[in-house]
Amino acid sequence: MRQLFIGGSCTASASDEFIEVVNPATEEIIDRVPAGSPDDVEAAAAAGRRAFPGWADMAASERGKLLGAAAELLKQRSEEIAKTIATDMGAPLGFALKVQTLMPATVLSSYAQLAESHPRESRIGNSMVVKEPIGVVAAITPWNYPLHQIVCKVGPALAAGCTVVLKPSEVAPLAAYALAEIFAEVGLPPGVFNLVSGRGPVIGEAMAAHPEVDMVSFTGSTAAGRRVASLAAESVKRVALELGGKSANIILPDADLALAVKVGVANCFVNAGQTCSAWTRMIVHRDQYDEAVGLAVEAARGYRVGDPFDESTRIGPLVSATQRGRVVRYINRGQEEGARLVAGGTERPHERGYYVEPTVFAAVEPGMAIEQEEIFGPVLSLIPYTTEDIAVQIANGTKYGLAGAVWSGAEDRAVAVARRMRTGQVSINGGRFNPLAPFGGYKQSGVGRELGEQGLEEYLETKAMQL
């Protein structure tokens, strides 16, 4: 069984309980991690507090060198870590390598550079304004991008001069242990990075409420984010929340319909639909609606569901039996509400593994559960509109605002529609994801931003000294 990582070394948990890690493709137990206790959080927070003054005072260039060395080791071990993610999370191996491992390495490398280049002082009249690290950061991360979401928090926090206590998801925790090994190997000072595995209601809540924690950065469901924020509010901690999404893909009548549908389906199904920013609602003009439905069905049938280590696989299993059950319930509910199932469904494509066929719904109306609620599986809803205003109204008609897309034959028209969307990111005509640009949401999709300079700013306090 694994151990915790506290104060620079592997440490036995104060709890003798453990959590089994399951391969979602085979349903076999592959590892065990400690089900940590509040005493473990106490030890990790204390280690972070002891390490904070020395890490915060270290030259920014030295912090940057350590992060750069860690990013390089991450690249060198990318194939091994990708196999780990394909095994405990279920992502197809190629995706696990390119997106789940090499992209985090790029992000970590960017923070190695920003550690030194990001300005920390400025002058406003007779005031010197300085930016200082906030302190000890609790990072609580999800299972869907188990390394990327960690690096999106740990990278900027460490670059800023903060120390970190990490709770990775207990569902897919093994990449976090690989990162802990890398940090130890490059010589990160003891206590700067600490890892406590365990369940959210125990470890996550203890971290959010702990008096030695100065900030909580959480990624997960909106419901869990509200709980984290309420606990943190008791001690007036800073909180960063990256929560759910129900992103809209608006296809305007002058767009390349075939391309827009093809890319839209791909975005919805990426990572088996287990992506908070996935474009799960395709909003198409009524005159083109039937054609778009046909194109979406054809595209969905091209997604082979299977073993993450099979090169022909495009959709791996969902991460757990619980997650599969959730997605199946939504597929059933969609049909009960009157939406028309045109591809996929609830039948198991394989005898073993938590697989779901890529699913497409037509005749979806605004207000249906499958149109309003985050499903977190490979389920696409197509919604018709008659005017541009109505398309924007539908896009903005949920409690979320994380991402989205607009397609048009004229870029300026697409940008004009994108400006009206209440969401944190918008792709124009298939513009690719930029891991150096700020990422985060409006409304109940969250508070704060990750990635790039804005992601670093989350972990800094501002002080004004009047001279």
The SS3 call for residue 97 is helix
pLDDT averaged over every residue in the chain? 98
Cβ atoms of residues 134 and 161 within 8 Å: no
| Mean of pLDDT values over 449-463 | 98
| Mean of pLDDT values over 332-337 | 98
- For 126-147, the pLDDT digits (tens) are 999 999 999 999 999 999 999 9
> Half-sphere exposure of residue 219, counting CA atoms within 13 Å on the CB side?
29
- For 24-57, the pLDDT digits (tens) are 999 999 999 999 999 999 999 999 999 999 999 9
Tokens of residue 176, six digits = 């976090």
Instruction: Examine the pLDDT at 1 and tell me if it is beyond 80.
Output: no
Q: What is the spatial distance between Cα 422 and Cα 250, in angstroms, rounded to a whole number?
A: 13
The residue from 205, 212, 242, 458 that is catalytic is 242
pLDDT at res. 24: 98
| Mean of pLDDT values over 383-404 | 98
Q: Give the burial class of 272: count Cβ atoms within 10 A of its Cβ; 0-12 exposed, 13-18 middle, 19 or more buried.
A: buried
Residue 242 appears among annotated catalytic residues: yes
Instruction: Examine the pLDDT at 103 and tell me if it is beyond 90.
Output: yes
Instruction: Examine the pLDDT at 312 and tell me if it is beyond 80.
Output: yes
The residue from 162, 268, 276, 357 that is catalytic is 276
Report in angstroms the alpha-carbon separations of 235 from 209, 210, 216, 228, 463: 7, 8, 11, 12, 20
Q: What is the spatial distance between Cα 442 and Cα 461, in angstroms, rounded to a whole number?
A: 23
Q: How confident is the model at residue 408 (pLDDT cuts 50, 70, 90)?
A: very high
Vertex 263, ends 319 and 23: CA angle to 5°? 15
Q: What is the spatial distance between Cα 420 and Cα 413, in angstroms, rounded to a whole number?
A: 11
pLDDT at res. 36: 97
Provide the whole-model pTM. 0.96
- For 181-237, the pLDDT digits (tens) are 999 999 999 999 999 999 999 999 999 999 999 999 999 999 999 999 999 999 999
| Mean of pLDDT values over 387-402 | 98
| Mean of pLDDT values over 294-306 | 97
Q: How confident is the model at residue 422 (pLDDT cuts 50, 70, 90)?
A: very high
